Amino acid sequence: MPNLNIDTSYRSPNYTPGRPGRIEGITIHTTEGVYPSDLRWLADPSSKVSAHYLISPAGAIYQLVEDGDTAWHAAHTWGNNATIGIEISHVAGQQYPPVQKEALTALCRQLIALYIISPDKIVAHRWLTPDRRSDPSDWPDDDFRTWITELYTPMVVRHRCLCRTGIVLVPTAHGCVPTPG
Residue 160: the pLDDT is 45
Phi first, then psi, for residue 180 (nearest 5°) are: -60, 130
Whether the pLDDT of residue 161 is over 80: the answer is no
Q: Which domain holds residue 79?
A: 6-156
In a domain, residue 175? The reply is no
In a domain, residue 168? The reply is no
Q: Which residues pair with 83 in a beta bridge?
A: 25
* Type of residue found at 25: G
Does the pTM surpass 0.75? The reply is: yes
In a domain, residue 180? The reply is no
In a domain, residue 144? The reply is yes
Between 177 and 146, the more confident residue is 146
Q: Which helix (H) or strand (E) holds 170?
A: strand 168-172
In a domain, residue 179? The reply is no
Please give the distance of CA 105 from its chain centroid, rounded to a whole number: 9
In a domain, residue 164? The reply is no
Q: What value does the mean pLDDT take over residues 22-37?
A: 97
Ramachandran area for residue 159 (φ above 0: left; ψ -120 to 50: alpha; else beta): beta
In a domain, residue 58? The reply is yes
Q: Which helix (H) or strand (E) holds 98?
A: helix 98-115
What's 93's domain CATH number?
3.40.80.10
In a domain, residue 36? The reply is yes
What's the structural domain count of the chain? 1
